[in-house]
Chain A
């Protein structure tokens, strides 16, 4: 296990390093850039030159990268030029992260709470109308473009009927901020209306964001339950005359859950890193949205840290999944 961990960690470092290089080159290869983003119509050759120099963008690329790497290793990922000018890019990431985590968490709850039970039902009734129905349903979930779904939900439940707020994370209630997890903060500070407001804001985005994970989890659950149902040890369990409950619980589900856990982990990674569309539609103050802004304004520092962080989160979660996998599955644990 230890050796495996070390190997994985090294691999992670490698991946992230290579990525940082690619990323850096990518940013510089982008048409336009910070300077014209800041100056707009007002740009004159002089101001442009001055700004370019001030931002150190006139130096050769490898020098720039070297500087970036050096600063990054000291925890300095540069300053935002446009998303929140003057703010430390790292801080921006850290203030935005909780928003994204909060959203992802709720989306995941939604996906799991529906995906696993339905997946199990579908598998038990494999090839029955119920099954086909559920499968198609889940696939519809995949086929709907996320942002359209988001629009649709917003339109239906926020604009037409005023059931839920249109966008944002919370009404302007002058809430105390501790962790920037609004629901949590509300509970911690006993400002329950803050939590409530945050919850109301979470409903629609979570559903929009949770639909694809739901579909995936549903399908994996179904598939792996199907597999396990056909396994010899299930037959053995039956041959022992165990009650249906025990057979399902101890022998079927427990084995079927292995790949499902994996998938859930994977999805978590994807959610945390890739909620751009949903966050944009619901004007959610999270990483995805920041990415979109940073991109629109060519805010290099912010783009850099956000994408790197996204990748890092992603890889770390993969690692965690593997570890948790090892913990659940004795075959792996004792290898």
Chain B
């Protein structure tokens, strides 16, 4: 946290996280009062100890579980085909733009007569897909850069980090926005890519940080001393110990990407094809109706909020659990 390392101030949450990995062993030692043979295990074990009793974590986990299950089974339990304009004949822009609740359609339909409940249920699927894939893409991208930088240091490091700096110098939403705009044919994929791209530099910095923290830690030095190849050192010794913070970040990113996706379709950069419903898209599309038929926006919004909250709760409590500093 000293200016000697310029962009640290950028998202110091990242570096906080990064630091935890490095100090794991030290922490373990301080905890047990004696040198612990295998830091990783005891760390996770004790983390789990704390998590089991943290209400924050339990709530988060519960929400997430429900969400994932829903995403898997929703097509089976959805009362109607979410793409079928079943109530289209009732739609009249003036008299009745949004068909209301009625037998068989507890929440009514949307502006082209598709069953709202079914769309909400099935929406969980695409939403999960967006979240998960955005995270995966962001992670892989970030890992590649981060490992390059963290593992080799030197000019590779500074080159990669300059690139990261440039990316980080653009406010994240703006970046997503810009990338989504490039898509000549907007689709779910382009949305995912845009959202993921924002996460790449963050993951990169995160990994690099925690790996640098370890370059000089005992077990890595030891491994080197034993003449383990650089590659092995990186993948067998440094990477595994950097994973804690990465996992935490990932859970948080799951939430962020779902929200960002919503923001994109609010700005009209979302996936134009709405046969496969996605909550963010539903929310974005509800804009024209928000005044007379707010429910059209409120339902998907609530879904997003709850799910995002779920992931964030998990991530935050995970982070606290893994962070030795908060263990006294």
Chain A in direct contact with chain B (Cβ < 8 angstroms): yes
**Residues on the A chain within 8 Å of B173, using CB:** 274, 276-277
**Residues on the B chain within 8 Å of A266, using CB:** 9-12
Is A85 close to B, CB under 8 A? no
Q: A145-B262, A292-B267, A310-B171 are in contact. Are A139 and B305 (CB under 8 A)?
A: no
> Can you name the residue of chain A whose Cβ is closest to the Cβ of B2?
A332
**How far apart are the CA atoms of A326 and B172 in the complex, in Å?**
27
Within 153-181 of B, Cβ neighbours of A (below 8 Å) are at 162, 165-166, 169-174, 177-178, 181
Q: How many residues of A contact B (CB 8 A)?
A: 66
Q: A15-B162, A277-B266 are in contact. Are A148 and B55 (CB under 8 A)?
A: no
**Residues on the A chain within 8 Å of B309, using CB:** 136, 139-140, 143
Q: How many residues of B contact A (CB 8 A)?
A: 53
**B9–A30 CB distance below 8 A:** no
**B169–A314 CB distance below 8 A:** yes
- As a 0/1 sequence over residues 283 to 312 of chain B, the CB contacts with chain A under 8 angstroms (1 = contact) are 100000011001001000100111011001
B20 to chain A, nearest CB (A): 11
**Residues on the A chain within 8 Å of B169, using CB:** 15-16, 19, 311, 314-315
Pick the contact of B55: A132, A223, A227, A307 (CB < 8 A): A132
**How far apart are the CA atoms of A153 and B263 in the complex, in Å?**
17
- As a 0/1 sequence over residues 142 to 180 of chain A, the CB contacts with chain B under 8 angstroms (1 = contact) are 111111100100010001000000000000000000000
**Residues on the A chain within 8 Å of B236, using CB:** none
**Residues on the A chain within 8 Å of B172, using CB:** 274
**How far apart are the CA atoms of A335 and B7 in the complex, in Å?**
18
Is A233 close to B, CB under 8 A? no
**A318–B313 CB distance below 8 A:** no
A12 to chain B, nearest CB (A): 9
**A263–B182 CB distance below 8 A:** no
Is A205 close to B, CB under 8 A? no
Q: B-contacting residues of A (Cβ < 8 Å)?
A: 4, 7-8, 11, 14-16, 18-19, 22, 26, 29-31, 132, 135-136, 139-140, 142-148, 151, 155, 159, 216, 219-220, 223, 226-227, 230, 258-259, 262-263, 265-266, 269-270, 273-274, 276-277, 280, 291-292, 295, 307, 310-311, 314-315, 318, 321-323, 325-326, 331-332, 335
Given contacts A11-B6, A15-B169, A159-B291, 10 further A-B contacts (CB under 8 A): A4-B4, A143-B306, A143-B308, A145-B262, A145-B263, A145-B304, A226-B325, A263-B12, A276-B173, A276-B174
